[in-house]
């Protein structure tokens, strides 16, 4: 299969609703059950080690009309919360054993409660991921939180989740994350080789595939990528920031590149590429995951890191990508992204790095206005 064909396959997979994606996975793994993962980060290793397919819950795009969730969530709530709830209210999650949410924001927290109440047959877990990376008890706490999830999930599926299975899953996801890092590095080093839309399509497909299948797919892609002719363009090199939870429509990502920018790095689907380095696999897998969460996580708007503020993280990302500007793509009404925008731009302004903000929501169909904004932004930089 060619690079383009693989990407097309990923695109087709992403077009499916979660239950349909699970159905597709069942073709080669009959009887496989799913477990939904609400962004940003979740320990997918535990879900996989329980024999389930972890499936990223990124909303439904335009694929499902929101009829019920609008009455539960007000107009000022982000689309992803509404469409995630809609899936459960409409009983569109058949084949799923449950879902995991975490302490990313006030909306996600309340959403977890609502899903639990409205889908009583599902096992709904809410993880309080640590916000204090530096306390002497942070590790003990984090490990215990992961273990609590393991115990609850094992109880729910009615079989143990042994250490050996966890270690196997950890190795697999390490391999996946390593390949994703390589793919990102490849794009950074070979501008024009992979478009941003292609890359996020591939990453998202990984949130609905078993890692056993996904890792080889990435390896094939990496090989094919190096044979692909790059098309560097006369454009502004940018980093995309603020898209860590609800994902911008692929059309918006395409518009950014079509309108004069070239994406060199981004935080799209960052939860699925969460660790900067491999998680050590020797010893206790949950302990390693806990250590990695505290010390090897990517910077993120949903994680307070006293030792290294995310404003430094963004600056670092811009520099190592060789980017000239930042495009912020917060989901409409997304508080963590909209709050962080303020210190982020203060930092960028201090270092003379231009930036542009483009908000989006699920029911956006046309991007003409965004296109004009990006063009104006890019032109102002190119002809400066």
Partner 1 sequence: MTTSTTATSGKHVPLPVREYRAGVHDQSRDIMTAWMGQLKDATRGSTPSAYLMISGNCVEILRCFDILPVFPEINALQLAIRKKSLPYILKAEEIGYASDNCAYVKADVGFTLSGGVGPEGNIPVPSLIVCNFVGCNVYIKWFEHCAAMFNAPLVMLDIPFIREDRPSPEDVRYVMAQLDELIRRCEALTGRKFDIDRLREICRYSARAEAGWSRCKELCKHRPAPFDAYFDSINMMGPINALRGTKEAADFFDTAVAEYEQMVAEGRGVLPEERFRIVTEGPPPYPYYRNFRNLFETWGAVAVQSTYSTVGGTWEFGFRHDPDRPLESIAEQMLVHNLCNRTMTDRYAQIRRYVDEWHADALVIHSIKSCRLFSAGQGDMREYFTRELGVPTLMLESDLEDPRYYAEAQMKNRIDAFFESLQYKRIRECAART
Q: Which is nearer to partner 1, 45 or 145 (CB)?
A: 145
* Residue 131 contacts which entry, ligand SF4, partner 1, none (Cβ below 5-8 A, type-dependent): partner 1
Nearest approach in angstroms of CB 78 to partner 1 is 9
Taking CB under 6 A as the criterion, the residue among 7, 105, 153, 170 binding ligand SF4 is 105
Give the count of beta carbons closer than 10 Å to the beta carbon of residue 134: 11
* 109 lies in the site for partner 1, by CB under 8 A: yes
Angle at 276 between CA 275 and CA 281, to 5 degrees: 60
Q: Tell me: does residue 269 bind ligand SF4 (CB under 6 A).
A: no
Q: How far apart are CA 289 and CA 311, in angstroms?
A: 25
Is 114 a binding residue for partner 1 by CB under 8 A? The answer is yes
Can the peptide bond before residue 368 be classed as cis, meaning omega within 30 degrees of 0? no
CA–CA gap between residue 233 and residue 142 (Å, rounded): 45
Q: How do 236-241 and 261-266 pair as beta strands?
A: parallel
Alpha-carbon distance 120 to 315, whole Å? 44
Report in angstroms the alpha-carbon separations of 342 from 150, 302, 306, 348: 37, 15, 18, 10
The answer to the question of residue 291 lying near partner 1 (CB under 8 A) is no
Residue 348 near residue 355, CB atoms below 8 Å? yes
Q: Please give the size of the binding site for partner 1, defined by CB under 8 A.
A: 55
Single out the residue of 6, 47, 81, 263 in contact with ligand SF4 (rule: CB under 6 A). Answer: 81
How far is the C-alpha of 273 from the C-alpha of 34, rounded, in Å?
Answer: 20
- Cα pseudo-dihedral 152, 157, 162, 165, rounded to 10: -120
State yes or no: residue 114 binds ligand SF4 (CB under 6 A). no
100 and 93 in contact (C-beta within 8 Å)?
no
Q: Out of 25, 49, 80, 268, point to the residue binding ligand SF4 (CB under 6 A).
A: 80
Q: Is 155 in the site for partner 1 (CB under 8 A)?
A: no
Q: Does 341 bind partner 1 (CB under 8 A)?
A: yes
78 binds ligand SF4 (CB under 6 A): yes
Residue with smaller CB distance to partner 1, 225 or 318: 318
Q: Is 278 helix (H, G, I), strand (E, B) or coil?
A: coil
Q: Which does 136 bind (CB under 5 to 8 A by kind): partner 1, ligand SF4, none?
A: partner 1
Three-state SS letters, 316-381? HHHHHHCCCEEEECCECCCHHHHHHHHHHHHHHHHCCCCEEECCECCCCCCCHHHHHHHHHHHHHH
Distance CA 190, CA 124 (A): 42
Please give the Cα distance from 74 to 83 (Å, whole number).
13
Nearer to partner 1, 230 or 346 (CB): 346
Nearest approach, Cβ of residue 44 and partner 1 (Å): 19
336 sits near ligand SF4 (criterion: CB under 6 A):
yes
Q: Is 280 strand, coil or helix?
A: coil
Q: With CB under 8 A as the contact rule, which of the stretches 1-9, 30-38, 194-202, 300-308 interacts with partner 1?
A: 300-308
Report the residue number, 7 or 80, with the smaller CB distance to ligand SF4: 80
Q: Is 384 in the site for partner 1 (CB under 8 A)?
A: no
Question: Which of these segments, 24-32, 120-128, 243-251, 259-267, binds partner 1 (CB under 8 A)?
Answer: 120-128
80 contact choice in ligand SF4, partner 1, none (CB below 5 to 8 Å, kind-dependent): ligand SF4
Can you list the positions of beta strands (E) in 103-210? 123-127
> Among 248, 269, 222, 210, which Cα is nearest to 332's?
248
Binders of partner 1 among residues 69 to 88 (CB under 8 A) are 70-74, 76-77, 81
Per-residue interface string for the shown chain with partner 1, residues 342-371, x marking contact by CB under 8 A: xx-xx-------------------------
Residues that bind ligand SF4 (CB under 6 A): 78, 80-81, 104-105, 107-108, 245-246, 331, 334-337
Residues that bind partner 1 (CB under 8 A): 70-74, 76-77, 81, 103-107, 109-114, 116-118, 125-128, 130-132, 135-138, 140-141, 144-145, 148, 302, 304, 306, 309, 330, 332-333, 335-336, 338-343, 345-346
């Amino acid at each position: 299969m060619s690079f383009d064909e693989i990407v097309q396959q990923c695109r087709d997979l992403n077009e499916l609703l979660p239950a349909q994606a699970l159905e597709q996975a069942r073709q080669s793994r009959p009887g496989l059950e799913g477990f939904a993962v609400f962004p940003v980060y979740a320990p997918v290793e535990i879900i996989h080690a329980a024999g389930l397919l972890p499936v990223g819950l990124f909303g439904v795009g335009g694929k499902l009309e929101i009829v019920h969730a609008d009455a539960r969530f007000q107009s000022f709530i982000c689309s992803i919360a509404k469409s995630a709830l809609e899936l459960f209210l409409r009983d569109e999650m058949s084949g799923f054993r449950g879902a995991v949410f975490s302490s990313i924001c006030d909306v996600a927290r309340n959403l977890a409660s609502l899903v639990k109440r409205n889908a009583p047959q599902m096992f709904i877990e809410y993880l309080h991921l640590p916000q204090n990376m530096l306390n002497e008890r942070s590790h003990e706490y984090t490990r215990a939180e992961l273990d609590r999830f393991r115990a609850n999930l094992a109880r729910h599926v009615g079989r143990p989740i042994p250490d050996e299975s966890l270690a196997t899953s950890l190795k697999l996801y390490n391999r996946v994350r390593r390949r994703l890092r390589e793919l990102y590095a490849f794009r950074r080093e070979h501008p024009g080789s992979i478009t941003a839309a292609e890359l996020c399509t591939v990453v998202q497909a990984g949130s609905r595939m078993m890692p056993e299948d996904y890792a080889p797919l990435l390896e094939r892609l990496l090989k094919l990528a190096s044979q692909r002719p790059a098309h560097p363009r006369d454009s502004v090199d940018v980093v995309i920031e603020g898209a860590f939870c609800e994902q911008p429509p692929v059309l918006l990502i395409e518009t950014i590149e079509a309108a004069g920018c070239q994406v060199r790095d981004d935080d799209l689907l960052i939860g699925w590429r969460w660790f900067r380095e491999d998680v050590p696999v020797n010893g206790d897998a949950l302990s390693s995951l806990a250590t990695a969460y505290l010390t090897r996580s990517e910077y993120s708007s949903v994680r307070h890191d006293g030792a290294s503020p995310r404003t430094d993280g963004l600056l670092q990302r811009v520099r190592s990508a060789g980017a000239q500007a930042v495009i912020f793509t917060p989901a409409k009404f997304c508080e963590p992204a909209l709050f962080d925008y303020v210190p982020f731009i203060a930092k960028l302004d201090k270092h003379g790095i231009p930036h542009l903000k483009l908000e989006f929501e699920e029911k956006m169909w046309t991007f003409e206005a965004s296109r004009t904004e990006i063009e104006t932004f890019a032109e102002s930089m190119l002809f400066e």
